[in-house]
A and B are shown apart, each in its own frame.
Chain A
């Protein structure tokens, strides 16, 4: 299937008769990237699936007002990031989980997850990542696994490139320390 550029998809979306078709194309183009972005944050597939749906629902509602001031994919990433962070925050609030318990729960989910195919080293790395504060975890995942540019990350997370570099540096050091000290 031919992959349209973002500007082509947005033009199609603004054509009332082809709106659904264009949105379907957008979903197909970005679903995997957004799914993995969310999944690495919430770990459990079912949660990631729900959040991905919510993310695209919001995109559907908001796309009419999208003026193209940012790229489509950074806009979608921002929605997905907010969904994941809100979900984790709500989960802690709902179950009165302190930060440590929340991390322990995510680690436990990871071990029991039938859709985790990593080896022991990868499990160790994921557990170390789960010990990071949420926003540092986000930065680490986006840079380490998705290899996203700092400039794009800065747009998505609404912060400066310098702050992101520092955050990633701290995250990598912590993970290294945790793995070596394990």
Chain B
């Protein structure tokens, strides 16, 4: 056999003895070491999506709890600090709007001319500006007082 001859051609004394060795007990412990690594890899091979969810879930829960706490705290603080009398009523808002709307209107100017005596006797004192929004009432008033409308219009 050619290959056998080749082997024999190598210098004498060179047998096929394995010159390498291993740490004591290496082959006895290797299967257990490998099993441990397989177990670790198996744990790590859980799908990435699942691992990601497992990782961020407690953080998301914490963030949600903090947010809920902040919102509840803010609402509680606000309801505690702002009393009822600080809220604007619908009437007040209407009054403001009406006031500024009529600030330079004819009734307002007439009111200024008449100074304090602007309200009609028929109207309650707390009626507010919204209650005198009827032009007929002003006209009646001017007629009763014999005010010259033309004069008012030309003067103001």
Contact = CB atoms under 8 A, between A and B. Distances in A.
Contacts of A35: 22, 27
Q: How large is the interface on A (under 10, 10 to 19, 20 to 34, 35 or more residues)?
A: 35 or more
Contacts of B37: 53, 57
A116 interface: yes
B57 interface: no
Interface stretch (B2-10, B121-129, B135-143): B2-10
Nearest to A150: B3
Contact of A123 (B7, B19, B41): B19
A102 interface: no
Given A20-B35, A165-B2, A169-B3, A118 B30 contact: no
B19 A175 contact: no
A67 interface: no
Given A52-B30, A53-B33, A143-B3, A172 B9 contact: yes
Contacts of B11: 121, 176, 179-180
Contacts of A126: 19
Contacts of A180: 11
Contacts of A87: none
A121 B9 contact: no
Contacts of A119: 19
A166 B150 CA distance: 130
Contacts of B10: 125, 172, 175-176, 179
A117 B19 contact: yes
B6 to A, nearest CB: 4
Given A57-B41, A115-B22, A122 B17 contact: yes
Interface of B: 2-3, 6-7, 9-11, 13-14, 16-23, 26-27, 30-31, 33-35, 37-38, 41
Given A53-B37, A168-B6, A169-B6, 11 more contacts: A116-B20, A117-B19, A117-B20, A118-B17, A121-B13, A122-B14, A143-B3, A169-B3, A172-B6, A172-B9, A176-B11
14 contacts: A35-B22, A39-B20, A45-B23, A49-B30, A52-B30, A56-B34, A117-B20, A118-B17, A122-B19, A143-B3, A168-B3, A169-B2, A169-B3, A179-B11
Interface of A: 20, 24, 27-28, 31-32, 35-36, 39-40, 45, 49, 52-53, 56-57, 60, 113, 115-119, 121-123, 125-126, 143-145, 147, 150, 165, 168-169, 172-173, 175-176, 179-180
